[in-house]
């Protein structure tokens, strides 16, 4: 599929898809005319990249992690390095702290809403 179709199917901009390719996160073949073409598995790969970015992971960590994850077609994966396991554990801790902060913020807002509604 061409880059425009991959963009439409994933909801990810063409610019972002080109960035993923520059970062080595996504691989495209080229037609004789130089146009990018992607296999069907690229849809799952892009969705996975988006999920990892949404979790707060950097391009570097995503690039380290992707080879350790099985593609939708069941292709082989490699084992995670000790560094990667440590980094993912650290990232999980950051997410836990962010979730805690957001829960505290919600509690404060609930108190303000309750106080305002009582007036």
- Residues 63, 87, single domain; the answer is no
Q: How many domains does the chain have?
A: 2
- Residues 108, 74, single domain; the answer is no
User: Each residue's pLDDT tens digit in the chain (119 positions)?
Assistant: 999 999 999 999 999 999 999 999 999 999 999 899 999 999 999 998 998 898 888 888 888 888 777 655 545 456 667 887 888 898 899 889 999 999 999 999 999 999 999 86
CA 88 to chain centre: 13
Give the whole-angstrom CA distance, residue 58 versus residue 52.
Answer: 8
- Residues 32, 66, single domain; the answer is yes
- Residues 91, 68, single domain; the answer is no
Q: Is 17 exposed, middle or buried (0-12, 13-18, 19+ CB in 10 A)?
A: buried
- Residues 10, 59, single domain; the answer is yes
Give the whole-angstrom CA distance, residue 3 versus residue 12.
Answer: 10
The DSSP bridge partners found for residue 2 are 37
- Residues 106, 68, single domain; the answer is no
Structural domain including 14 reads: 1-78
CATH of the domain at 39: 1.10.1660.10
pTM confidence score: 0.69
- Residues 62, 26, single domain; the answer is yes
Give the whole-angstrom CA distance, residue 27 versus residue 102.
Answer: 37
């Amino acid at each position: 599929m061409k880059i425009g179709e991959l963009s439409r199917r994933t909801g990810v901009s063409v610019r972002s898809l080109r960035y993923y390719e520059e970062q080595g996160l996504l691989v495209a073949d080229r037609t004789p005319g130089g146009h990018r073409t992607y296999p069907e598995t690229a849809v799952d790969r892009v969705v996975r990249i988006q999920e990892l970015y949404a979790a707060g992971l950097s391009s570097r960590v995503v690039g380290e992690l992707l080879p350790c994850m099985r593609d939708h077609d069941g292709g082989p994966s490699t084992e995670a390095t000790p560094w990667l396991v440590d980094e993912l554990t650290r990232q999980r801790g950051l997410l836990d702290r962010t979730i805690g902060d957001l829960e505290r913020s919600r509690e404060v807002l609930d108190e303000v809403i309750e106080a305002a509604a009582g007036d």
